[in-house]
């Protein structure tokens, strides 16, 4: 059985990068070698010998190509340090990470000095500069990389990230668009563009970008988190927010931020026990988050777990002594425990910190009613009504007729 030439030649040629074939005349060598073999050597049994022979030749050609670029050792050294820095950052060893980033930058600059026409050192230099917060210089590095080769979308995306960090949203959006023009399957660019649009309150368009990114990368954890936050904060759609946070935590049960946002979402969805559980999980690792303490305290207050609610508000006030919400909620919890003196002190402080806090007037009125000060309670309801509190008018009609 004889192998036909038009079968073996394409097989061999696919083993060689085009630039290597052209630069080192390997194409001509292959053709000459191929036709120098006697016909009888093209027997099927010799096929694998020829294939491995040409594969070895291909690898040798690649080594020759690599060795001609004197900048390559510096670039490789820099990328290794860049990877080491990322690992250190994940372990919160920022001092060592910054040292690696600094050393990587030096390596990439050496590579550029040796070969100023190479794309890769400029690209990775920009990455390292961004990681150290030097976004303005990073933009310059990415721009130089793109001047050398503007066909690669990654540099546009990374320059867009640096532009966004500098507050240049228009330029960042333009770069993300260009990145997607180069590679429409770049999930990261869809994600970053969605983040930028969400920041500028272009909610529906941001949602479209997040959906595109998830279609390309279904396990993209950050998108479930960011889209869930978008549903929670801007859309006020707690059902869809909960779906995203559930999806996030199914994929990564160790994502602590997911527990924070799911707990807050459950609270707004009236699942107070679920909120308590999720926020407790979060606070195990982040015990000084005031927002989480207040929300868990509010969930416990609603569940009539008043003593634990007071403890949460105590911690929140220690961390943030001027937090009027914490004072109001603690006063409400103390009132439920019939500690009327302590309740009024906290509610007075809440109003002192925020004089137009209508909810504090409503809650102080409730404590005054419970302690027998009906006249004082009605005065507070009138103040709340003057601040356009929706509940105040009905409460005045029900409880304060004699004072009208």
Q: Is residue 41 part of a domain?
A: yes
Q: With 90 as the cut, is the pLDDT of residue 202 above it?
A: yes
Q: Residue written as tokens 């060795």?
A: 67
> Which residues make Cβ contacts (< 8 Å) with residue 306, sequence separation at least 6?
300, 333, 334, 336, 337
Q: Answer whether residue 265 shows pLDDT above 90.
A: yes
Q: What percent of the chain has pLDDT over 70?
A: 83
Residue 60 has pLDDT above 50, yes or no: no
Q: How far apart are CA 77 and CA 75, in angstroms?
A: 5
Rounded to the nearest 10 degrees, how much is the dihedral formed by the CA atoms of 172, 178, 182, 185?
A: 60
- With beta carbons less than 8 A apart as the criterion, state whether 145 and 114 touch: no
What DSSP element (H or E) covers 330? helix 324-336
pLDDT of residue 191: 97
Give, to the nearest 10 degrees, the angle between helix 119-131 and helix 135-148. Answer: 160
pLDDT one-digit tens code per residue, 314-334: 999 999 999 999 999 999 999
Stretch 106-133: mean pLDDT: 95
State which residues form the domain around 32: 5-68
pLDDT above 90 covers what percent of the chain?
79
Q: What pLDDT is stored for residue 83 in this prediction?
A: 94
Q: And the tokens for 244?
A: 């995203």
Query: Which backbone phi and psi does 2 adopt, to 5 degrees?
Result: -105, 130
Query: How does residue 20 score in pLDDT terms, banded at 50, 70 and 90?
Result: very low
Residue 218 lies inside a defined structural domain of this protein: no
Please indicate, yes or no, if residue 59 is contained in any of the structural domains.
yes
29 domain-assigned: yes
At 197, the pLDDT band (50, 70, 90 cuts) reads: very high
Instruction: Tell me, yes or no, whether 262 lies in a domain.
Output: no
The C-alpha atoms of residue 58 and residue 122 are separated, in whole angstroms, by 28
Mean pLDDT over all residues of the chain? 87
9 has a pLDDT exceeding 80:
no
158 or 16, which is more confident?
158
Tokens of 328: 């109001």
Q: What is the model's pLDDT at position 182?
A: 96
Average pLDDT over residues 2-14: 45
On whether residue 18 sits in a domain, the answer given is yes
Over residues 224-245, the pLDDT tens digits come to 999 999 999 999 999 999 999 9
- The pLDDT tens digits for 23-43 are 444 444 444 544 454 554 445
Query: Considering the domain boundaries, does residue 15 fall inside one?
Result: yes
Number of structural domains found in the chain: 1
pLDDT at 302 over 80: yes
CA distance 279 to 275: 6
267 vs 261: CA distance, rounded Å: 10
Output the pLDDT for position 102: 95
């Amino acid at each position: 059985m004889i192998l036909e030439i038009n079968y073996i030649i394409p097989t061999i040629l696919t083993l060689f990068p085009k630039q290597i074939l052209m630069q080192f005349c390997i194409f001509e060598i292959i053709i000459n070698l191929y036709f120098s073999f006697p016909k009888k050597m093209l027997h099927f049994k010799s096929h694998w010998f020829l294939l491995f022979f040409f594969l070895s030749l291909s690898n040798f050609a690649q080594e020759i190509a690599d060795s001609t670029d004197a900048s390559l050792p510096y670039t490789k050294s820099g990328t290794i340090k860049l990877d080491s820095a990322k690992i250190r950052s994940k372990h919160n060893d920022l001092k060592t990470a910054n040292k690696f980033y600094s050393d990587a930058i030096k390596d990439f600059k050496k590579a550029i000095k040796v070969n100023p026409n190479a794309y890769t050192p400029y690209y990775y230099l920009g990455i390292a500069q961004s990681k150290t917060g030097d976004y303005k210089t990073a933009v310059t590095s990415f721009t130089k990389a793109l001047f050398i080769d503007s066909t690669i979308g990654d540099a546009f995306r990374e320059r867009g990230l640096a532009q966004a960090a500098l507050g240049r949203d228009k330029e960042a959006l333009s770069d993300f668009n260009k990145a997607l023009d180069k590679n429409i399957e770049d999930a990261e660019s869809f994600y970053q563009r969605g983040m930028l649009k969400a920041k500028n309150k272009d909610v529906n368009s941001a949602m479209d970008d997040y959906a595109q990114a998830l279609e390309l990368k279904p396990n993209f954890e950050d998108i479930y988190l960011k889209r869930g936050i978008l549903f929670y904060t801007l859309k006020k759609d707690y059902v869809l927010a909960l779906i995203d946070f559930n999806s996030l935590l199914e994929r990564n049960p160790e994502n602590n931020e997911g527990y924070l946002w799911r707990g807050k979402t459950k609270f707004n969805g009236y699942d107070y026990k679920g909120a308590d559980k999720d926020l407790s999980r979060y606070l195990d690792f982040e015990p000084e988050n005031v927002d989480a303490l207040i929300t868990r305290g509010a969930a416990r207050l609603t569940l009539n777990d008043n003593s634990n609610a007071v403890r949460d508000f105590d911690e929140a006030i220690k961390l943030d002594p001027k937090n009027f919400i914490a004072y109001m909620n603690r006063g409400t919890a103390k009132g439920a425990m019939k500690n009327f003196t302590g309740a009024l002190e906290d509610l007075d402080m809440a109003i002192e910190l925020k004089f137009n806090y209508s909810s504090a007037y409503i809650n102080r009125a409730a404590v005054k009613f419970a302690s027998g000060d009906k006249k004082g309670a009605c005065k507070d309801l009138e103040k709340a009504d003057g601040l356009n509190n929706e509940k105040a008018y009905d409460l005045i009609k029900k409880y304060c007729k004699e004072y009208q």
